[in-house]
Structure 1
Amino acid sequence: MKKFSSVLTAVCVSISAVLAVYMFWQRLAHLSSGLAYDELYSLATSWPGLKLSYIWHEILLKDVNLPLYNILLYGWNHLFPAEPFYMRLFNTLASLATVPTAYFLAPAAWPKLKKFMLTALTACSFILVAFGLYIRAYSFAVWAGMAFTLLALGIIDALARQKNPSAKTWAAFFIIGLLGSYLHYFCSGLFFITALVVFLYACYYKTGRATAFWGTAAVFAVWFPWVINTYLIMSAPAGTWWYVVPWARATWDILQFLFGSPALVGGILVLLILSAVSLVHTQKKRLLLNASIILPVVQIGLLLAVVAVVSLKYNLWLDRYFLSFMPPILVLIAGCLYHLYERHRLLIVLFPLLAAAWTAHFWNLDYLLTAEYTGLKDAFSFISQNWPNQPVYVDTAKTGYPDKALQVMLQYYAPGHQMTLIPLSKENAPQAAQAPKPPVLMPLCTQYHLMQFSFDYNLEEDREPYLFGKDVCVFTAHPVPEVRP
Structure 2
Amino acid sequence: MKKLYSIITAVSLAVSGVLGVYMFCQRFALLHLGLLYDELYSMATAFPGFSWAYIWREMLLKDVNLPLYNFILYGWNHLFPLTPFYMRLLSALVSAATVPLVWFLAPRRWSPIQRFIFTALMAGSFALVQFAGVIRAYSFAVLAVSAFTLQALSLLDLLSTRKKPSTKRWAAFFFTGLFAAYLHYFSSALFFITALLIFFYACYFKTGRKTVFWGTAAVFACWLPWVYHTVTLMSAPGSSWWYATPPLQASFEIAQFLFGSDRLLGGLVILTVLAGTSILFAYKKTLLLRTDFILPLGQNLILLGVVAAVSHKYNLWLDRYFLAAMPSFLLLLAYALFHLQARHKILIVLLPLLLMGWIGEHWEFVHNAKQEPTGLKNALTHLTQVEKRHTLLVDTAKTGYPTAALQVMYTFYAPKNYALELIPLTVQNRELAFTGEKLPVLIPVCSVQHLIFTETTYGLEEAREPLIFAPDICILSAKPGRIIEND
When normalised by structure 2's length, the TM-score is 0.97
SS at match of 1:460: strand
User: Do the aligned partners of 2:393 and 2:433 also contact (CA within 8 Å) in 1?
Assistant: yes
What letter matches 2:276 in structure 1? A
Give the equivalent residue in structure 2 for 1:470: 471
Aligned partners of 1:404, 1:119: CA distance in 2, in Å?
42
1:443 aligns with 2:444: yes
User: Do the aligned partners of 2:411 and 2:420 also contact (CA within 8 Å) in 1?
Assistant: no
Give the equivalent residue in structure 2 for 1:53: 53
Aligned partners of 1:482, 1:448: CA distance in 2, in Å?
16
Aligned partners of 2:455, 2:3: CA distance in 1, in Å?
72
SS at match of 2:147: helix
User: Do the aligned partners of 1:390 and 1:438 also contact (CA within 8 Å) in 2?
Assistant: no
What letter matches 1:473 in structure 2? C
Aligned partners of 1:340, 1:97: CA distance in 2, in Å?
28
SS at match of 2:179: helix
Aligned partners of 1:273, 1:221: CA distance in 2, in Å?
40
Shift in Å, 1:366? 4.3
Give the equivalent residue in structure 1 for 2:338: 338
Give the equivalent residue in structure 1 for 2:135: 135
Shift in Å, 1:389? 4.1
1:292 aligns with 2:296: no
Aligned partners of 1:91, 1:135: CA distance in 2, in Å?
6
Aligned CA distance change for structure 1 residues 421 and 93 (closer, same or farther; 3 Å): same
Give the equivalent residue in structure 2 for 1:170: 170
| Alpha-carbon displacement from aligned partner over 1:432-474 (angstroms, at most 9, x marks no partner) | 1225432111111011101111221011222332111220111
SS at match of 1:392: strand
SS at match of 2:110: coil
Aligned partners of 1:216, 1:173: CA distance in 2, in Å?
10
Shift in Å, 1:413? 1.0
Give the equivalent residue in structure 2 for 1:4: 4
Aligned partners of 1:320, 1:429: CA distance in 2, in Å?
35
What letter matches 2:280 in structure 1? V
SS at match of 1:162: coil
What letter matches 1:320 in structure 2? R
Give the equivalent residue in structure 2 for 1:461: 462
Gaps in structure 2 of 5+ consecutive residues = none
Q: How many residues align?
A: 483
Aligned CA distance change for structure 1 residues 250 and 463 (closer, same or farther; 3 Å): farther
User: Do the aligned partners of 1:147 and 1:176 also contact (CA within 8 Å) in 2?
Assistant: yes
Q: Cα RMSD over matched residues?
A: 1.4
Aligned partners of 1:408, 1:162: CA distance in 2, in Å?
56
Give the equivalent residue in structure 2 for 1:93: 93
What letter matches 1:430 in structure 2? E
Aligned partners of 1:334, 1:279: CA distance in 2, in Å?
13
Shift in Å, 1:52? 0.6
What letter matches 1:304 in structure 2? L
SS at match of 2:303: helix
| Alpha-carbon displacement from aligned partner over 1:340-376 (angstroms, at most 9, x marks no partner) | 1111111111111111111111100047742222111
Shift in Å, 1:301? 0.5
- After TM superposition, the structure 1 stretch with the greater mean CA deviation from structure 2, 187-196 or 93-102, is 93-102
User: Do the aligned partners of 1:130 and 1:368 also contact (CA within 8 Å) in 2?
Assistant: no
1:269 aligns with 2:269: yes
SS at match of 2:397: helix
Gaps in structure 1 of 5+ consecutive residues = none
What letter matches 1:341 in structure 2? Q
Aligned partners of 2:234, 2:435: CA distance in 1, in Å?
33
Shift in Å, 1:93? 1.0
- After TM superposition, the structure 1 stretch with the greater mean CA deviation from structure 2, 54-63 or 413-422, is 413-422
Aligned CA distance change for structure 1 residues 481 and 166 (closer, same or farther; 3 Å): closer
Give the equivalent residue in structure 1 for 2:303: 303
Give the equivalent residue in structure 1 for 2:425: 424
Counterpart mapping for 1:114-193 below 5 A: 114-193=114-193
Give the equivalent residue in structure 1 for 2:318: 318
Aligned partners of 1:61, 1:182: CA distance in 2, in Å?
13
User: Do the aligned partners of 2:260 and 2:361 also contact (CA within 8 Å) in 1?
Assistant: yes
User: Do the aligned partners of 1:391 and 1:438 also contact (CA within 8 Å) in 2?
Assistant: yes
SS at match of 2:414: coil
SS at match of 2:468: strand
Give the equivalent residue in structure 1 for 2:359: 359
User: Do the aligned partners of 1:387 and 1:438 also contact (CA within 8 Å) in 2?
Assistant: no
The ranges of structure 1 where at least 4 consecutive aligned residues each deviate by more than 4 angstroms after the TM superposition are none
SS at match of 1:399: coil
What letter matches 1:70 in structure 2? N
Aligned partners of 2:124, 2:225: CA distance in 1, in Å?
37
SS at match of 1:365: helix
What letter matches 2:18 in structure 1? V
Give the equivalent residue in structure 1 for 2:39: 39
SS at match of 2:240: coil
1:395 aligns with 2:395: yes
Aligned partners of 2:357, 2:446: CA distance in 1, in Å?
34
Aligned partners of 2:103, 2:288: CA distance in 1, in Å?
24
- After TM superposition, the structure 1 stretch with the greater mean CA deviation from structure 2, 33-42 or 162-171, is 162-171
Give the equivalent residue in structure 1 for 2:68: 68
Shift in Å, 1:325? 1.2
Aligned partners of 2:147, 2:483: CA distance in 1, in Å?
59
When normalised by structure 1's length, the TM-score is 0.97
Shift in Å, 1:96? 0.4
Counterpart mapping for 1:96-115 below 5 A: 96-115=96-115
Shift in Å, 1:49? 2.0
Aligned partners of 1:154, 1:368: CA distance in 2, in Å?
41
- After TM superposition, the structure 1 stretch with the greater mean CA deviation from structure 2, 359-368 or 403-412, is 359-368
SS at match of 1:421: strand
